[in-house]
Structure 1
Amino acid sequence: MKFHIMSLGDHVTDPVTGVRPTAAQRHATLVESAVRAEQAGFHGVNVGEHHGIEYIYSAPPVLLAAVAARTSTLRLGTAVTLLANLDALRIAEDYATLDVLSGGRAEIVAGRGNFFASTYRLFGQSVEESRDRFSENAELLSRLWSGEPVTWSGRFRPPVNGERLQPPPLQPERDVMWIGGGSSLDSVELAARLGWKLMLPSAFGNPDFFVPVVEHYLQRWQEAGHQHQPEIGAGWHVWVGRDGRSARQEWEPRYRAYHEWMQQLLAVVNPEVPAHQSRPFDFEWLTTTGPAIVGGPDEVVDRIGQLSERLRVTTHLLYMDMGGMPDAALMGALDLAGDKVIAQF
């Protein structure tokens, strides 16, 4: 079992203290929390990518390079890389550079990002083309990552005429590439066909929704005849406290504020928000049936164990810095998670 910290960079005011960090402070906290996570026994860090909204991490390879310079073992991944919006060659160059600088620790979790329709407008693209853009870019990224000369032509970018990826990455494709998704079977089938790992999203819905998705992925993987084993990851909203009561008291107001902020954001980025994303805040449901894991260490261990078995997850991304949580509290929770949760797996 592997555990990564995850941050999407929500830039909000702490509803308890009234403190709102600057954007610069938010970026610095990500680097420091990654350093602390490695010391605590975490296996990786995953950074979100958004543009033009108050999820403020827009350049994951830059952030992850800063983390790489301060760490030695953490896997350095995304959550997600907007593969449908960006140029596949530049993605390959950025993360191959991260891979060589980090000694072979880069991971790309590629996502369509079609839920964020505003991003497509910002880049002058049509969200109706998201599936075709994503598939085409994934195919090109797969070919480029080999480091061999590539001759290729497609619909959405100029041809590649025998160029090869520079610098050549240290890791093979199968160790680096994930597809982040689960709402669309198209993305799941693409992951299985390419031999990429599958990362389930940290949405506000019921994790049971992804049970048939996982089964579909594994079936398609077997049909593809890959020689390496599939891997499934998932992102969760997580808080670990000394005991269940104090954990809930500390986290509930931040989680509530994050949920309210997220609902407002969703209305801006997508005028057609799916019903499972717009449900009212219900702390009890979210933390027992939904995607949130909160409590003392033993409670967190039990819930992770249940979800791991249900969804066959072996890599867990823990989103712990949401909702304006103060840095000191975050660092303490990372230490506790390492000492009392990760140590039990």
Structure 2
Amino acid sequence: MKFNLMSLGDLVTDPVTGERSTNARRYKMFPEMAHLAEAAGFNGINMGEHHGIEYIYSAPPVVLAAIAERTSTLRLGTAVTLLANLDGLRIAEDYATVDVLSDGRVDVVHGRGNFFASTYTLFGHELEESAARFKENAELVDQLWTGEPVHWSGQFRPSINGESLQPAPIQRARDCMWIGGGSSLESVELAARLGWKLMLPSAFGDPSFFVKVVEHYLAIWEQAGWDWEPEIGAGWHVWVGEESQKARDQWEPRYGAYHAWMNDLLSVVNPAIPPQNKRPFNFEWLTTKGPAIVGSPDEVVERISVLSEQLHVTTHLAYMDMGGMPESELFEAIQLFGDKVIPQLADA
């Protein structure tokens, strides 16, 4: 079992202290988080990508390249790369560059991003084209990633006439390419057909919603006949403290502030929010039946174990730096997770 730190870069005022970070500080903090995560025993980090909103991370390959220079073993991932909005060739070039600079440590989690309808407007795309754009770019990236000359034509970008990806990546696509999704079976099927890994999202819904999604992915994978094992990851909202109640008291106001902030944001970027993402804030439900994992190290271990078995998850993304949490408290929790959670589960 592997554990990664995840950040989407939310810029939220801390409801406890009233303090608010800055764009510059949030960017500089992420490499510091990554350096600490490597020392604490995490497998990797995953960085979100959004545009034009207060999820402020917009250029993950730039930041991941900087982190590559400060680390030696940490996997360098996204959460997610907006595959339907960006050019497939440029995506492959950017992340192949990170792969080369890091000696083969990049993980690219591709997402449609259609939950954020405003991004499609910003890039001049039609939301109705999202599935077709996503599929076309995924198949193009898969071809380019071989490093061999590619002859390709599609609907949404000019043809490629024998050019090859520069730089040629170190890893194979099967080792580092993921599709992030679960709401659309089209995306899940695409992941299985390409032989890519599947990353379930860190939404506010019920994790049991994804049981049938995982079963479908594994069934399509088996039909595809790949001779390597599938891998499933998932993102969670996570907080850990030495004592259970103290952890809950510390995190609940920040988690509540993040939930309220995100709901306000979603009302702007998505006029048709899926039903599973419309739940009101209920801390007890979220931390026992939902996507939140909070408590003492032993409680966190127990919840992760249950979710791992339920969804066949082997890579867990822990979203901890949400809701304006102060850096000192965040870094203490990351270290505690590394000291007392990872050792109990890393070989499970």
TM-score by length of 2: 0.99
**Residues 249-288 of structure 1: pairs in structure 2 closer than 5 A:** 249-288=249-288
Work out the CA distance in 1 between the residues paired with 2:283 and 2:63. Answer: 32
Post-superposition offset of 1:58: 0.1
Is 1:187 the equivalent of 2:187?
yes
Q: 1:66 maps to which residue?
A: 66
**Residues 1-345 of structure 1: pairs in structure 2 closer than 5 A:** 1-345=1-345
Post-superposition offset of 1:276: 1.7
Secondary structure of residue in 1 paired with 2:58: coil
Secondary structure of residue in 2 paired with 1:239: strand
Post-superposition offset of 1:278: 1.6
TM-superposition CA deviations, 1:182-210 (whole Å, max 9, x none): 00000000000000000000000000000
Secondary structure of residue in 1 paired with 2:158: coil
Post-superposition offset of 1:275: 2.0
Work out the CA distance in 2 between the residues paired with 1:56 and 1:78. Answer: 14
Work out the CA distance in 1 between the residues paired with 2:180 and 2:74. Answer: 20
TM-superposition CA deviations, 1:20-58 (whole Å, max 9, x none): 111000011111011001100000000000000000000
Secondary structure of residue in 2 paired with 1:151: strand
Work out the CA distance in 2 between the residues paired with 1:243 and 1:73. Answer: 31
Post-superposition offset of 1:125: 0.2
Work out the CA distance in 2 between the residues paired with 1:8 and 1:213. Answer: 24
**After TM superposition, what 4+ stretches of structure 1 lie above 3 angstroms from structure 2?**
none
Work out the CA distance in 2 between the residues paired with 1:156 and 1:275. Answer: 31
Post-superposition offset of 1:243: 1.0
Q: Which amino acid aligns with 2:125?
A: Q
Secondary structure of residue in 2 paired with 1:107: strand
Secondary structure of residue in 1 paired with 2:106: coil
Secondary structure of residue in 2 paired with 1:230: coil
Q: Which runs of 5+ in 1 are unaligned?
A: none
Post-superposition offset of 1:277: 1.1
Q: Which amino acid aligns with 1:317?
A: L
Q: Which runs of 5+ in 2 are unaligned?
A: none
Kindly tell me the number of residue pairs found equivalent between the two proteins: 345
RMSD over equivalenced CA pairs, Å: 0.4
Work out the CA distance in 2 between the residues paired with 1:127 and 1:300. Answer: 38
Post-superposition offset of 1:300: 0.1
Secondary structure of residue in 1 paired with 2:151: strand
Post-superposition offset of 1:344: 0.4
TM-score by length of 1: 1.00
Work out the CA distance in 1 between the residues paired with 2:37 and 2:149. Answer: 38
Q: Which amino acid aligns with 1:27?
A: Y
